[in-house]
Amino acid sequence: MNLEATPQGVVAGSVPLFAGHPARDLLPIDGLQRIISAAWGDGGVARFLNYGAEQGNPQLIDFLVERMNRTENLGISRENLMIIGGSTGGVGMITRHLTVPGDIVLVDAPSYRDALHIFRDHKLDMRSVPIDDEGIIAADLECKLRELASKGERPRFYYVVPNFQNPSGITMTRERRMAVIELSRRYGFAIVEDDVYSDLRFAGATPPSFYGLAGGQNVLRLGTFSKTLAPGLRIGWLIASADRIAEFVESGMLRMGGGANPFSAALVADYCRSGAWEAHVEWLRGQYRRRRDMALAALESSMPAAVEWTRPAGGYFIWLRLPAAVYVDDLESRAQEQGVYFASGKGFYVDPADGAHHLRLSFSFVSPPELRAGIEVLGNLIAQMAQ
Amino acid sequence: MNLEATPQGVVAGSVPLFAGHPARDLLPIDGLQRIISAAWGDGGVARFLNYGAEQGNPQLIDFLVERMNRTENLGISRENLMIIGGSTGGVGMITRHLTVPGDIVLVDAPSYRDALHIFRDHKLDMRSVPIDDEGIIAADLECKLRELASKGERPRFYYVVPNFQNPSGITMTRERRMAVIELSRRYGFAIVEDDVYSDLRFAGATPPSFYGLAGGQNVLRLGTFSKTLAPGLRIGWLIASADRIAEFVESGMLRMGGGANPFSAALVADYCRSGAWEAHVEWLRGQYRRRRDMALAALESSMPAAVEWTRPAGGYFIWLRLPAAVYVDDLESRAQEQGVYFASGKGFYVDPADGAHHLRLSFSFVSPPELRAGIEVLGNLIAQMAQ
């Protein structure tokens, strides 16, 4: 079972702390209904229903370009953006387009599980670099690159979730981003920036994107409406150089056959243009912040002293390090007996053994009482097991 | 410009006889609205909006399995079917999964342009075999296979649009299908059956599918709602052996990140389960038959004697052969001057030169008066050019 995508697979009455989904009560169901009704009412719905251009819905492209230029001063034009069917599908597209089997790609340790799955099945040679509270450790990255260069090898790209990372919740600092860009130029690799959580910051601003810091040079940046609107619509976007976008749009290897989901995309475009999306994102920030606070408070009161965890400033996830005596496999089976499910750390590493004492909790999907109860169960189990 | 997918790219007032789209007045706009309203009314809409399983919407899978077993006695179960984002995307998925660059694939001459584009960009070695009014010429196919075998080579698969082929409108006979299956077993290649038009038969029945005739063995069959419901929903399906479907669902190379368009798929599932889709298909058959009849009558009255064309028993397309003195490139530029656009034959062949005297007309998208007027313009131009 793909736990990332199917919480419905879980036993009724259980607490799915693994699900990287928005909770049902955080989906803007009424707002979307108003948009759909209006589209049908004004007869414009035919444009929802036929084939579209491969680059995607033009109104949605224009909206995203304007927003990104307004909020980030990004300086992009419509040639720099295409609509895709979600960001994970985008990672697949980029991988197909930029790599051949055997190519080296760099990933964080830990990194997003579905991306590792994609790279593995494309038979790529994944090399991981550890992260700390500021993101990838630049000195370790440089060592890895020098080592590769000494053998005449070079990575094709570095894949990164820069903000509120899945699974750790960590945001890479501006300094680290600059260091990575500098290395990417020196050693000649692209940066694939999977920026799915940046809109869900709980306060302040995230650092500028890799795309922005690099002036767009050799960066491919993914975004999505899955976390801030509704995953089932399967609409995301890719920002890159105009040449790169044109290649993607024209490529028979990436052919969507009429653009990314014209029906959903037109609905999303109308929703965004009405102003509803940005208001909804603002509201969501408060909702997820409250859940994050509750999760951190529950961890504080439930966890034995030897457990460590991250304090994310946005997004969906908290990353736990268990005491050395506690193995995540054991904890997982005992927790499941009590109906509590989480994402084992092992899935987030190139070498699963590196995650033997880690786990990811998601505070996005379950209700606040379930969140507290689930964390309490885990705290008790860990306390018993650590003795 | 991708003419297959963007009729909106054409100059206003022109006659787009190239567009393989349903006409706007053939989209079931009111029926879809009823389904959407009902889903919002009963509060079940949350299931439209979150991630789904990678295999696709379970209700839609069950509906398609039941229908195919009922109407074709196909004997499949839910393990044999997955939901995909349209059939062209499905051709891409199959190609990624079954081939590596340099592999040989067999195609008809002519064949579906977007499929050739996909195969070309995957760097496959395409070999084409001519068709006649009964489909692929089995003796020619056998010669090609013997020739390959003598060099120790063998094709990975044969790609075919079996019913009302795009671009020719031709349906392969049962006998030819059996001959192909026999050869596929002897020479060890798969059959990729892109069956997008079979529901749009104007009378009687189509021959049994390759999948049915081969008992499912080594056949991958694609279907779609794009021609019988609405392309913008981007929902199709793939039927294959349970092992093959499981491979596709699990593969990181094909990962959709939450299944094919959960929102559209749930809408399509509700529409189908209400009985509306099968009624709509029945109605569409009459509508497209009327357009086909009108197109054939216009060809009869407008074309010089030396022009030949097919008489499709379903689908969207008529295929024309021009007199030897008339080159399609010349005709295309003269027709465009008069605002009439068609699909040049050259795009449908591995070697474009083979299509220098052919063109495809689509009777699905334009209005009946435009259809007649467009064909009249072409008839007059060909008559002038043939002199």
Chain A partners within 8 Å of B29 (Cβ): 40, 45-46, 49
pLDDT at A263: 92
Facing A5 at nearest CB: one of B7, B8, B54: B54
Cβ atoms of B255 and A92 closer than 8 Å: yes
pLDDT at A13: 67
pLDDT at residue A103 greater than cutoff 60 = yes
Q: What part of A 207-226 touches B (C-beta under 8 Å)?
A: 226
A182: its two tokens: 């500098």
Q: Is A266 on the interface with B (CB under 8 A)?
A: yes
**Angstrom distance (rounded) from CA B226 to CA B87:** 8
**Angstrom distance (rounded) from CA A296 to CA B212:** 57
pLDDT at A12: 56
pLDDT at B114: 95
Domain B44-275: CATH class, spelled out: alpha beta
Among chain A residues, the shortest Cα distance to B6 is held by A53
Domain ranges of chain B: 3-29+278-385, 44-275
pLDDT at B112: 97
pLDDT at A121: 94
Of the ranges A150-164, A242-256, B231-245, which one carries the lowest mean pLDDT score? A242-256
Chain A partners within 8 Å of B5 (Cβ): 51-54, 257-259
Q: Is B53 on the interface with A (CB under 8 A)?
A: yes
User: At A47, is the pLDDT very low, low, confident or very high (cuts 50, 70, 90)?
Assistant: confident
Of the ranges A14-28, A333-347, B12-26, which one carries the lowest mean pLDDT score? B12-26
Q: How is residue B201 annotated by DSSP?
A: B
pLDDT at B224: 97
A261, B264: Cβ pair inside 8 Å? yes
Burial B99-130 (b: 16+ CB within 10 A, else e): beeebbbbbbbbbbbbbbbbbebbebebbbbe
Among chain B residues, the shortest Cα distance to A230 is held by B49
Q: In sequence order, what are the residues at sequence separation of 6 or more whose Cβ sits closer than 8 angstroms to the Cβ of residue A128?
A: A106, A107, A108, A109, A111, A349, A350, A351
pLDDT at B5: 39
Tokens 């990140």 identify what position? B257
Q: What angle do CA A364, A367, A370 make, to 5 degrees?
A: 110
Q: How far is A347 from chain B (nearest CA, A)?
A: 14
pLDDT at residue B2 greater than cutoff 80 = no
The residue-averaged pLDDT of A180-184 equals 98
- Look at A218 and A254; give whichever has higher pLDDT: A218
Residues paired with residue B131 on neighbouring β-strands, in sequence order: B136
pLDDT at B12: 56
A82: its two tokens: 């295409």
ipTM value: 0.90
Q: Is B126 on the interface with A (CB under 8 A)?
A: no
Chain B partners within 8 Å of A7 (Cβ): 51
The residue-averaged pLDDT of B109-130 equals 97
User: At B163, is the pLDDT very low, low, confident or very high (cuts 50, 70, 90)?
Assistant: very high
Q: In sequence order, what are the residues at sequence separation of 6 or more whose Cβ sits closer than 8 angstroms to the Cβ of residue A364?
A: A19, A20, A21, A22, A23, A26, A227, A288, A291, A316
Please give the full DSSP string across B48-111, using - where no structure is assigned.
Answer: HHS---TT--HHHHHHHHHHHHHHH-----GGGEEEES-HHHHHHHHHHHH--TT-EEEEEES-
Cβ atoms of A156 and A101 closer than 8 Å: no
Q: In sequence order, what are the residues at sequence separation of 6 or more whose Cβ sits closer than 8 angstroms to the Cβ of residue A66?
A: none
Tokens 């044109």 identify what position? A246
B183: its two tokens: 């050869």
SS3 A255: coil
Facing A54 at nearest CB: one of B2, B120, B255: B2
Among chain B residues, the shortest Cα distance to A89 is held by B256
Q: Is B117 on the interface with A (CB under 8 A)?
A: yes
Mean per-residue pLDDT over chain B, rounded: 93
The residue-averaged pLDDT of B117-134 equals 97
**Angstrom distance (rounded) from CA A50 to CA A45:** 10
Q: What is the Cα gyration radius of chain A?
A: 21
pLDDT at A39: 82
pLDDT at residue A46 greater than cutoff 90 = no
Write the pLDDT tens digit of every residue in B246-293: 999 999 888 777 788 999 999 999 999 999 999 999 999 999 999 999
pLDDT at residue B120 greater than cutoff 60 = yes
Q: Is B8 on the interface with A (CB under 8 A)?
A: yes
Cβ atoms of A185 and A154 closer than 8 Å: no
Q: Which fold has domain B3-29+278-385?
A: Aspartate Aminotransferase, domain 1 (3.90.1150)
Chain B partners within 8 Å of A9 (Cβ): 53
The residue-averaged pLDDT of A253-278 equals 90
- Look at A177 and A52; give whichever has higher pLDDT: A177
pLDDT at residue A4 greater than cutoff 60 = no
Q: How far is CA B218 from CA A324, B185, B198, B210, in A?
A: 50, 9, 20, 10
| CB-CB neighbours of B376 under 10 Å | 16
User: At B4, is the pLDDT very low, low, confident or very high (cuts 50, 70, 90)?
Assistant: very low
